[in-house]
Structure 1
Amino acid sequence: MPTGVAIRDARRQLFDAAERVLLRDGPNALTSRAVTIEAGCAKGVLHRHFADFDTFLAELVSDRVTRVADQAAALKDRPGTGTVVDNLAAALTVLFESIAVAVVGLIISRDGLRARLRELTPTGIPILTEAAAMIADYLAAERDLGRIASSTDVDSLAPMLIGAGHLLFADRTGTAPSAAAVRKVVATAIAEI
């Protein structure tokens, strides 16, 4: 991009470009050069808005975590409606069909990014930690309504569901699991409650 041409919302443009590279080519292909080429801008644009590439990646992850917060807000309206199995299966599908699986791979593959994210989320893996909290909150609401057993340990069940969902969707290059497969895993996990 020529010097002097204004870019509207450069941060958003760079984040969206990074997401496309990450989803298409994986975490090893995510470089500052790949991002700026994908965004159609000069490499200096990224460095004008972020101190370094790890700062950019940490802010990308934080930005994508806000999507889980948006999903959590939508899930708060679901207790007492539909079935618990269908609500959980839908929530896991929305979560893992998004950028979440690719972001987990990115976090795991970059030590500097992981260290920087530890300042924001001291335990767990960002996105998955927030997703587990979202599921736990939903399950607690269903428990309060009497739709699942009052003895249900939602704080243990939620990460189990997140882990099972992540395993179903983990192969980003393969075929996504069917809705029936996701529903079966959820139904099996919560059968006793």
Structure 2
Amino acid sequence: MPTGIAIRDAREQLFDAAERVLLRDGPSALTSRAVTTEAGCAKGVLHRHFDDFDAFLAELVRERIARLQRQGAALLAAAGTGTVTGNLAGMLTDLFGPVATAIVGLVIVRDELRARLRATTPAGLPLLTEAAAIIAAYLAAERERGRIARRADVDTLSPTLIGAGHLLFADRDAGPPSPEAVRKVVTTVIADVVGESPE
């Protein structure tokens, strides 16, 4: 493979390639060679942009966390509109898209990657910890608006939603759950603190 050819947006090209490998073959197949082969570039391209493969993976996860933070800002802006159930179901569906679910699996199986991400996520599981904080902030905003009960423990509800959502979306072979299944999980988790009429 030629090495003297400049690759436009090499980092993005490598991230996209890593996501395709993750989706197609799973976390165990993600190697530097698999990524560069998928990207159609020489292996040295990855090492020109990252110190090593774990540094590349850590940046891939950080990019996904940054995307999640943008989704979280949109969720927070939606507080007071639509229904709490609908907003949360939409957030879980966005959060647990196929790539993000595969990245969670990657973080779980790679100890070195988790260690590198401790600067970003000091405790918990990277990506899911940030998602729980986003949902807790959204629930707190809805509590302030009186759309969920004052007694709602948002710091318990948010990881409960994340855990239930992850289990619902984690089966790669079965495909994504139906919107109704996601809404049912959300409705069940928040039923005690939200009084909404069905949409």
Q: Scaled by the length of structure 1, what TM-score is found?
A: 0.97
What is the deviation of 1:76? 1.5
Does structure 1 residue 168 correspond to structure 2 residue 168?
A: yes
* Separation in 1, partners of 2:13, 2:68: 20
* Distance across 1 between alignment mates of 2:130 and 2:110: 20
Gaps of 5+ in 1: none
Match of 1:17 in 2: 17
Equivalent residue letter for 2:21 = V
Q: Residue 156 of structure 1 corresponds to which residue in structure 2?
A: 156
2:56 aligned partner: 56
Partner of 2:4: 4
Alignment correspondent of 2:181 = 181
Q: Which residue does the alignment assign to 2:85?
A: 85
Match of 1:139 in 2: 139
In structure 2, the partner of 1:102 is 102
Specify the SS of the correspondent of 1:172. coil
The TM-score normalised by the length of structure 2 is 0.94
Equivalent-residue separation in structure 2 for 1:111 and 1:92 (angstroms):
26
Count of residues in Structure 1 that have an aligned counterpart in Structure 2:
193
Q: Note if 1:33 corresponds to 2:27.
A: no
Unaligned runs of 5+ in 2: 194-199
The residue aligned with 1:129 is 129
Distance 2:132 2:120 in 1: 16
Identical residues among aligned pairs (%): 71
Cα distance in structure 1, aligned partners of 2:175 and 2:22: 17
Cα-Cα RMSD = 1.0
- Using the alignment, how far apart are the partners of 1:8 and 1:175 within structure 2? 33
How far residue 111 of structure 1 moved from its aligned partner, in angstroms, is 1.5
d(CA) in 2 for partners of 1:84, 1:111? 36
SS at match of 1:104: helix
Residues 126-148 of structure 1: per-residue CA shift (max 9 Å, x gap)? 11011101111110110000000
Separation in 2, partners of 1:147, 1:121: 30
Q: Which amino acid aligns with 2:164?
A: A
Structure 1: how far apart are the matches of 2:22 and 2:87? 28
SS at match of 2:96: helix
**Are residue 191 (structure 1) and residue 188 (structure 2) matched?**
no
The Cα of 1:3 is off from its aligned counterpart by: 2.6
